[in-house]
Structure 1
Amino acid sequence: MAYEILTPVEMGKADKLTIAAGPYDGYGLMLNAGSAIAHRLLADDGDASAFHVLCGPGNNGGDGYVVARLLAESGASVHVWSYGKPAAQTDAAMALQDCPVQPRPIAEFQPTPGSVIVDALFGAGLNKAVTGEAAEAIGRANVAAARRVAVDIPSGLDGLTGLPLGPVFHAGRTITFFRKKPGHLLYPGRTLCGELVVADIGIRKDVLAAIKPRCFENTPHQWCERLPAPEANTHKYKRGHVAVFSGGATATGAARLSALAAARAGAGAVTVLSPGEALAVNAAHLISIMLARCDHNQDLQTFVETRKASAFVLGPGFGIGERARTFALALLGYQPAQLVFDADAITSFEKHPDVLFHAAGSTAEIRLVLTPHEGEFKRLFPDIAGSETGSKLERARKAAARAHAIIIYKGADTVIASPDGRAAINTNGTPLLATAGSGDVLAGLVASLMAQGMPPFEAACAAVFIHAAAARSLGFGLIAEDLPAVTAIVLGDLMDDWQQEKSARNEGVAP
């Protein structure tokens, strides 16, 4: 499975590298693209009363002219509507010359019921709003009683950010080439693209070595080999010790959710660090998870020195203010524990973000994972969040670099970003996770995987994927308490699948 995500600029480089290496020239790639689209249209929409192909002046329009020719040659009823003429001696001009269907002005375009509208107006490189007759045609297409298919990316959608530049073609299906782009996966682009199909047009995978992409779709193949499978000679502390800070007597549930998730994800030992006022409440609800009193920094220091926890979770239900900041900064001073700051730990630094960032950046090693949702992100990175340009992907990368931390920028299109520029866009998310406590579970999962030795970026990516997969498995009506046990099943299945695939490779059998 291909999981690299290419920006429009990187995709242009992939085209150029392929053309330079042969055997395809630019027109050859255009022919391949048009052929892939036409075959898919005939397979899925062969019952359409007619095909309306909207063609722009660039390479996207050239793909459309190839599609129109092939559909006409198959015997389909085809109408071509042009917006602008391709420049002379370009690949698009050659495609227009070879197309037997006479184009008509796009101003005359009127979709017919039961037809298929093929959007080949503008590709992913578009950087301004669609206006005039093209915008009006998009408007007519969007309200038509017809199926809508976009070539590469819906016209009017920014291929880098997933944001509309103005009027946007609303596709039921988008057929793109070689690799997905950020705009396909970031909202609202993901919705505007509809079903996403990636077609093979002859671009070889080895061009990626020259491009060196830094963005990926969050799939198990990215991190499965790093999952911490228990060894035969292991013991509970070798499997990692996670400590989770509890809030006061009336706010203990969030910490217990994190702790239970950490245990279910394989940590050999989990301790809830509780203020004295909440010891009795926590003790009444904990069985396999340990409990320790922690009211002050001295209590924390004693715990660190005697119990050797390998990861900490601070924030769920903890409370906002000076106490959270004090514990957070103390943790950042302890080596080499891995840290997850969530919820209240993030908001506590709303007016003091530089203090947190300075402490996190005091060592070269990345040990901190921050898990903000949109509101928390705005509190910690107000200038980045308020920027009118750039995508969620870019915002996450800037935040990670500034904070010297892994950022899990939560939402329907969760982005995981590292200070080194690596980033992953999660695509298996579900609105089922929009329930109280689900974020606490995620924080515990991340900490558990890091405590067991998984690198922070990979641990964050794996936890986000596993968290969503568990929610999908549970279905409607899930509550946060359901998630830890099912994440254990998902994690175990992933480990088994990876071991089987590795064994198949060792034996020379295709997995």
Structure 2
Amino acid sequence: MTELLTAAQMRAIEQAAIASGEVTGLELMERAGQGVVEAILEEWPELDADIGRKAGGAAPRPSASPRDISGQKMGSGAPRRAVVLCGPGNNGGDGFVVARLMKERGWEVEVFLYGDPDKLPPHAKVNYERWGKLGAVVPYFDEGEIAFALDPARYRENSLLVDALFGTGLARPVEKFNSFGWVTQITEWRLKEPFRKGGFPAPRVVSIDLPSGVCTDSGEILRSEKPPRELEEICADLTVTFHSKKLAHVLADGPEQSGKVVVKSIGLETSGSAESGEVAKSAKPNLARKRGGHHKYSHGHALVLSGGHGKTGAARLAARGALRIGAGLVTVGAPRSAMMENACQLTAIMLRQMDGADELRTLLQDSRINAVCLGPGLGLDADREGLVLEVLQANRATVLDADALTQFEDRAEALFEALHENCVITPHGGEFARLFPDLAEKLNARATTGPAYSKVDATREAAKRAGCVVLFKGPDTVIAAPDGRCSVNSAHYERSAPWLATAGSGDVLAGFVTGLMARGLDPIQAAETAAYLHVECALGFGPGLIAEDLPEQIPAVLRRFDIP
């Protein structure tokens, strides 16, 4: 799995490398700047074609038909222009390196500094002075000067705006300070009316480490008041970060603000866990081949409880998911009123009448039933709580979703007392708020200082409180165990799957988790694998997806991972 680091963890890694003599801070800054330039030219290779004579007298490279980054043809030898916005810390130091390297490649570069050059950190100050031998540094906070830098007439189709303002070190909001709006929201400049009226394409925006203003640990935009709606659009076209992704690249506002994220190595090998707390990771599948014989019971027997008449579809979706993902048998337990409704639509899935906690207790005497799913379509009738408690007392692998969680809205402590370490609960945002109102309040509060409270923080606290694995659903699904282990299943960037926003997709996910636990995966492995495969199924089907399609994608997805 890939580590997702906090700001403190990244600092610890860098400081450990510097203290060991492996590298100097100045070398790290140089490598970071080189990585940004490499990423820019890899993303838009046409920007390195036919730019005229390079520094040092090198001849221009031939180019048959250079194009701008919007695909339009450009005139031969058109100069590349870049504005680099540098901040008062080491992120600004990276920006000075980028400016120098681009200048050496023949770009026209302007540099603006937000802050006092005399207060720059030592390594940033060195690179400020190196740039000073090549060009001027203009104060960024002067309204007239910033307006000049962003004048559409200065931009052509080959322009770049490099955001090296704050990166991972920002701990406070940077407020509105001039007529160009929020210093942390470069988007506004790209949407300004003069660009559109003048027929000028807005400059491509490249952020170093993170779009400035985004909290590294939470992905929230640090602000003391809500900005205009248009400022919440995508901020960067490309974000270049180093060593490993940060939590902000996969949580909350971070993915939309970051555009495309590229990770560049700067030669660090240390793990983020060194003296900096438990590291969250990106979720990956952890599913072994089926072993232990060809008998169906050797691969587990999952029980999914159904609601009454007219409320059976969710349980069937979960059951189909459990069967497709590899449980040897799956049984739907349904009340008498729902037997015919279920029987008309189940074939490979077995059906058992089950009215009330007493009949459930009898059914669970079959020790071959090793995983139970409750919640999808279960209903909120008075006797439903008894079913949940009966299953938890049986101490089987258990997945609680939907109604099984809402049932305890006013009695969360009673649920937590009954939960055990072989359980997974799978709340969405509303269900999470009902079970953990104090954590949800902290999570939903406006982030004004960093590090802000994150979905990772909330899910870890919830798992510790509940005493079991919590899978907190969303495009940034977070999975945490009571011992602090945590992963994020991000459905962003190339894994963006908006089609999952369809009725019943969460029921299928609950079934995936149940089926994997029936197969013998421990709770956190089952939750991580299910969440990952859930997104892969959506990507495999594409637009038009409905929940019934998800289980049917499992065979193709498992073949792709070479898992029979």
Q: What TM-score does the superposition give when structure 1 sets the normalisation length?
A: 0.91
Q: Is the 1:228–1:452 Cα contact (8 Å) retained in structure 2?
A: no
Pair 1:165-2:192 in alignment? no
Q: In the alignment, residue 439 of structure 1 is paired with which amino acid? A: G
Q: 1:280 aligns with which of 340, 354, 369?
A: 340
Match of 2:52 in 1: none
Counterpart CA distance in 1 for 2:277 and 2:317 is: 39
- The DSSP-based 3-state class of the residue aligned with 1:52 is strand
Counterpart CA distance in 2 for 1:158 and 1:237 is: 49
Pair 1:102-2:102 in alignment? no
Q: 2:463 aligns with which of 386, 393, 400?
A: 400
Pair 1:203-2:268 in alignment? yes
Q: Is the 1:17–1:207 Cα contact (8 Å) retained in structure 2?
A: no
- The DSSP-based 3-state class of the residue aligned with 2:296 is coil
Q: 1:330 aligns with which of 387, 390, 413?
A: 390
> Shift of residue 380 of structure 1?
1.2
Q: 1:212 to 1:377 in 2, by over 3 A?
A: closer
Match of 2:198 in 1: none
Q: 1:89 to 1:425 in 2, by over 3 A?
A: closer
Q: In the alignment, residue 8 of structure 1 is paired with which amino acid? A: A
Q: In the alignment, residue 460 of structure 1 is paired with which amino acid? A: A
Match of 2:436 in 1: 381
Pair 1:214-2:279 in alignment? yes
Match of 1:317 in 2: 377
Match of 1:58 in 2: 89
- The DSSP-based 3-state class of the residue aligned with 2:281 is strand
Match of 2:296 in 1: 236
Pair 1:246-2:290 in alignment? no
Q: 1:89 to 1:439 in 2, by over 3 A?
A: closer
Q: In the alignment, residue 242 of structure 2 is paired with which amino acid? A: F
Q: In the alignment, residue 104 of structure 1 is paired with which amino acid? A: V
Counterpart CA distance in 2 for 1:19 and 1:105 is: 31
- Any stretches of 5+ residues in structure 2 without a counterpart? 49-67, 69-78, 191-201, 446-451
Pair 1:345-2:404 in alignment? yes
- The DSSP-based 3-state class of the residue aligned with 1:247 is coil
Pair 1:155-2:177 in alignment? no
Match of 1:411 in 2: 474
Match of 2:426 in 1: 371
Q: Is the 2:185–2:235 Cα contact (8 Å) retained in structure 1?
A: no
Taking the TM superposition and a 5 Å limit, the aligned residue runs for 1:136-151 are 136-138=182-184, 142-144=188-190, 145-151=202-208
Query: Alignment RMSD, CA only?
Result: 2.0
> Shift of residue 466 of structure 1?
0.5
Q: In the alignment, residue 385 of structure 1 is paired with which amino acid? A: A
Match of 2:448 in 1: none
**What's the CA shift string for 1:32-86, capped at 9, x where partnerless?**
1111112223442446731100111110000011111111111110000011134
> Shift of residue 213 of structure 1?
4.2
Counterpart CA distance in 2 for 1:401 and 1:232 is: 34
**What's the CA shift string for 1:185-221, capped at 9, x where partnerless?**
112111001100101111124565665642001133x
Q: 1:137 to 1:480 in 2, by over 3 A?
A: closer
Q: 1:384 to 1:321 in 2, by over 3 A?
A: farther
Q: In the alignment, residue 374 of structure 1 is paired with which amino acid? A: G
Q: 2:540 aligns with which of 470, 473, 477?
A: 473
The structure with the largest helix share of the pair is 1
Q: 1:263 to 1:477 in 2, by over 3 A?
A: same
Counterpart CA distance in 2 for 1:141 and 1:170 is: 5
Q: In the alignment, residue 373 of structure 1 is paired with which amino acid? A: H
Match of 1:433 in 2: 500
Pair 1:390-2:447 in alignment? no
Q: In the alignment, residue 410 of structure 1 is paired with which amino acid? A: K
> Shift of residue 136 of structure 1?
4.8
Q: In the alignment, residue 427 of structure 1 is paired with which amino acid? A: S
> Shift of residue 479 of structure 1?
1.3
Q: 1:487 to 1:27 in 2, by over 3 A?
A: same
Q: 1:271 to 1:228 in 2, by over 3 A?
A: farther
Q: Is the 1:126–1:156 Cα contact (8 Å) retained in structure 2?
A: yes
Counterpart CA distance in 1 for 2:430 and 2:314 is: 19
Q: What TM-score does the superposition give when structure 2 sets the normalisation length?
A: 0.82
Counterpart CA distance in 2 for 1:157 and 1:206 is: 24
Runs of 4+ in 1 over 6 A off after TM superposition: none
- Any stretches of 5+ residues in structure 1 without a counterpart? 500-511
Counterpart CA distance in 2 for 1:422 and 1:206 is: 15
Q: In the alignment, residue 383 of structure 1 is paired with which amino acid? A: D
Q: In the alignment, residue 397 of structure 2 is paired with which amino acid? A: Q
